Amino acid sequence: MKLSKFPYLVQKEILDEMEYKNLFLLSLVSRNMKKLIKTSQKKRFKSISHIKYECSRYDSNTLVVYIPFKDRVDFILECFDAENIAIGSGPFQLDVSGRLIDFRKVDSVGSLLPLVYGSSTRCLLFRIHGVHQSTIASSSPHKYEFVLESIHNYIMDLFGTSMEYDWKMYTNDKKLSIPQLQNLSGCAIIQYQNFVDWVELELEEHFFSSSPVLKWIHMQIGSLKEFSPDSKFYMTESIDIFKIDGVLDLLRYFQGRQAFLNACRYESSDFIEFVKRWKSGNAFQKLEYFYCNDHCSYESMENEVLNAVAKYIDTTKKPPTHTLPLVHVCIDNKPNTNPITSYAYVVRETDGHVASILFQETMFRFGVWDKTEEEFLAMVE
C-alpha cells in the first residue's frame, strides 16, 4: 500500500485518525512525511494548549512527554533510566533535529539483553508506546540533555509553538538544574522529601539567567536557597509556592504579575514596606495579585498594617469584589483568583490606581484594580 498514491485529502484523513505518538514516529520516516504531517495537521496541532514534560528524579530518571486533554492524556514519548534493558532488533539511526539518535525496537522491556555504553551499563531510553511494542531511542547519561534538547526541538518543529511547553519535575535532589529547553513557558518543581528533614533546594541561577522570563513557576518544596535580588526568577509572571521552611523574599523582589505563597510567614513590617513600595510606584509596577498564607492567623498584625497604609470605604456601603484571570491555571482548573471584598484599600501615587487589601484569618490578599480611586469608589454600592 503506497500512502502517496492516495489523494491529499485521503492522506489527511488517515493522518487525522492517528494518535500523536504515532504521528511523531511517522514524521521520523522522512522529511517529506514530516512536511505532510505539519501541513495536514496544522489545525489539529493548533488546538493543543499544552505539551507537558513530566520528569521524576526520585530513585531514577524518568520523563514522559504528553498532551493533556480534558478527559485524557496522549503520550508522545517517555524516557527512562535503565540498567538492564535489552534490545529486540538492531538499532537504526534517525535524524532528530540534526542529531542522529539510535532508535531500537523492543518487543517487551522485560525479556531483553543489556545495552552497554562504554564502561557503563546504564543508559537513558526514550520510548514511544505502541500497542504491543515500543520504539526506544537510547542515549548514554552524559548525552541526556543534548538528546532531550534535540527531541524537544523536534517536537516544537513538528507540533509548532502555538501551545505552551511546561516542565514538571519531581525531585529529591539538593541542587537542581532545569534543562535549557526553548520556548518553555512554565516550570513546576515538587520536592520529594521526608517532612522531618527538609533539604534546602538550590535552583541553578544559570537556568533563569540564560532563559527567557518564564510565564509561571509552581513549587512544592521544603525550603529554597535565595536568589540574588536581580534574578530573573523574580521576573516570572506568576509564582505559586508551597514552602515548608523559611521566608521567601518575594514580598521584596517580585517583579511579575501574580504571586501565591503558601506557608510563608511575614512580619507586619514586611507587609507595611511592601504596600508602601507599591504605593510609591517604585516597585511592583506589574503586580496584579499577591496572596500569602501561614499556619498562624494574621489577625494580630492586621490593624497595625492597615493603620499604617490603608484608606477605608464607608462601612455602611458594600465594597466591590476584586478577581481576575489566573496567569497559570493549576490542577484544580479554577480560572480566576480568589475574590477580595475588602473595605481597606490603597492608592498608587504615580497613576492613582487602587489596590484592595484583605487580611482574613491566616491569609493576606492584595489585588490591584485597573481603576483610579474615583472609578473604584463609583463601584461602591
Please, which residue, 31 or 42, has the CB nearer to other proteins?
Answer: 31
Q: Is 9 in the site for other proteins (CB under 8 A)?
A: yes
Q: Is 112 in the site for other proteins (CB under 8 A)?
A: no
* Region binding other proteins by CB under 8 A among candidate stretches 11-19, 71-79, 344-352, 358-366: 11-19
From residue 115, alpha-carbon distances to 101, 104, 125, 136 in Å are 15, 11, 10, 12
Q: Is 5 in the site for other proteins (CB under 8 A)?
A: yes
Q: Which residues pair with 270 in a beta bridge?
A: none
Residue 305: DSSP 8-state: H
Q: Is 273 in the site for other proteins (CB under 8 A)?
A: no
Other CB atoms within 10 Å distance of the CB of residue 249: 15
Environment class of 75 (CB within 10 Å of its CB; exposed 0-12, middle 13-18, buried 19+): middle
Tell me if residue 378 falls in helix, strand or coil.
helix
Residue with cell 531500537: 104
As a whole number of angstroms, the distance between CA 249 and CA 259 comes to: 12
- Do residues 189 and 221 lie in contact, with contact meaning Cβ atoms separated by under 8 Å? yes
- Please give the distance of CA 343 from its chain centroid, rounded to a whole number: 35
Least distance to other proteins, CB of residue 19, Å: 7
Residue 51: DSSP 8-state: E
Please, which residue, 10 or 330, has the CB nearer to other proteins?
Answer: 10
> Which x/- pattern over 134-163 shows residues binding other proteins (rule: CB under 8 A)?
-x----------------------------
Please, which residue, 132 or 295, has the CB nearer to other proteins?
Answer: 132
Please, which residue, 57 or 129, has the CB nearer to other proteins?
Answer: 129
As a whole number of angstroms, the distance between CA 235 and CA 84 comes to: 43
* Binding to other proteins, residues 72-111 (CB under 8 A): 92, 94, 103, 105
Please, which residue, 6 or 69, has the CB nearer to other proteins?
Answer: 6
Please, which residue, 2 or 72, has the CB nearer to other proteins?
Answer: 2
* Binding to other proteins, residues 20-49 (CB under 8 A): 22, 25-26, 28-33
Residue with cell 514534560: 53
# residues near other proteins by CB under 8 A: 35
Please, which residue, 9 or 196, has the CB nearer to other proteins?
Answer: 9
Q: What are phi and psi of 269, to 5 degrees?
A: -65, -35
Of residues 176, 171, 127, the one with CA closest to residue 147 = 127
* Binding to other proteins, residues 55-74 (CB under 8 A): none
Q: Is 283 in the site for other proteins (CB under 8 A)?
A: no
As a whole number of angstroms, the distance between CA 124 and CA 144 comes to: 7
As a whole number of angstroms, the distance between CA 378 and CA 248 comes to: 37
Least distance to other proteins, CB of residue 16, Å: 7
Binding-site ranges for other proteins (CB under 8 A) = 1-7, 9-10, 13-19, 22, 25-26, 28-33, 92, 94, 103, 105, 129-133, 135
